[in-house]
Structure 1
């Protein structure tokens, strides 16, 4: 078990050792290798990128440690051998879900109020991408279960802004709107839980807002209200609904840049350990299903890079100022040190990298790979260039 006094590099070394025992194929020389040589060749505009974040993350005790590996069989045995795994990703910003995710997509540690729906002040990955490569609005999408993420598609930056932003689809909002238009008696209220840190987060529900979301449901996803609710009735979670929306977008529009936020494991804030474990296992399965969908889709196969990364971690059990798995209040190394898995045609397989990187490095890394510049303090991850 990790103690809060353990340094990030010790956490990284422990993850390496756990992985060596779990998948067996990683050699010591590979684990300790430095930069992977960049692959030559010009990246074509048809390259696609999918970013997956975990809302709140999960501790090593429930994932990469020996006692937790049973919860992530797909990550360990199917996905990690196909990609490059970074054991030490540092989040130096605010440990709140919206602001931390905004930091990931801007490449800047944002400092705004985590509980107010506002656009990030700094340009997002989506804006850099669309403006530099002249991509249409239908080419970038964010699928975010929490309604608090409604403004994450575009920044308030005067040089960029919503005109270059991504479309944001809030599956919970779509479900809520659809339920109001049908006579279904299904009990789907558990899918409408918005934010376990602040469950009373205000959800916009004006008639104009409902109509906009119905229009998105029917025009963008090409789903009727009845179809959507029928599918929703078979789901166990909001994350399941989000993956359904993601796959629908892949089929209907084949966007080149998407971000999917999995948020179920944030149920940890309620103190229900069993539900937290269930959510980890579900996220593990959904990541594998997403990768399988990418590999089997003619528009995505062999041209898509997938990045999977928690927004941050959680507190240690023995930290007197925290609440263990339930919260992420202390700002300790356990809460700040996460990981990154990258998979794709240009990414080296079965490689583990221990050197420290930061969560804000993702935006410049995608820019380096796709051929556009970003004005951020983050750095391009050389192993993924």
Structure 2
């Protein structure tokens, strides 16, 4: 009996061994190959729109304003009547100048007849040479009086013309600054001419932006390497996004770069010209300017969610052929339609973890699954 109990205890002890835990299953991750397409780098700057043409309309002659011929804020064409200034004083001066011109012409005609008569009599020595010289001088003075009178008449006629203030350019006019009945000072009065209103052209429109020195040096280097045309020689394209827009809505071209950097800001002033057919952009608005930064080139792209940071490095997790994870340092480029350009560190055939990065461990096996669709922003 004791032998049976001892045998039972021994058998029970053999059956109480702890089973070994099963190996952990590989973590599931989603992988995708980099998107390959032709891209162009762009440099971005903040710019401000300004009118191609802007005119302050001032009175050229003084007088009382008799009418305002435009609606505040309206669009006007070149030559449209804006103001009328009382022209009666100038018309009176013109009549006086016209009378003086007629008198000068009559004197010149009389002087010519007297000179001809003196020349005829001088042939027979009936009139002395001094008389001929005197009458020739009288005729010359009469011709000079004609020129003076003609000048005075033209000036008076110009003043009459200037009493009708017209738009020197086409564009949108501001409000009227002088009302009917007010006396305005002209530019011929010795003082500052009265400002009546202003006009700005709207189509096309300029946008000015300031390029930092580093970008200028980069673009200059690319130009000498033949990788980017110079904006001084080529109207390089720009894209402009207005305030509140997430994507550019207007296209234009660079048409000016300044000849020196601003020493106070270390920036170079540039200008692009933008079509504005619907007049929706006004001078003074801000915009984001995207300036072409390279020639088109083939690039590999990934979504930003696939990129991790390891201290100062940017890395991606690549699944190798044996389904183990490798951390791959990469050099990043700009965003292009929602995807990040990878300049260095990737091959087109690499399988990059785009979802499940938190489950990936360097050197560990994973269970890779191909992404159901192309990463957001990629082109088909």
Instruction: Say whether the fold is shared (TM-score over 0.5).
Output: no
Higher helix share: 1
Q: Which has the larger radius of gyration?
A: 2
TM range (shorter): under 0.3
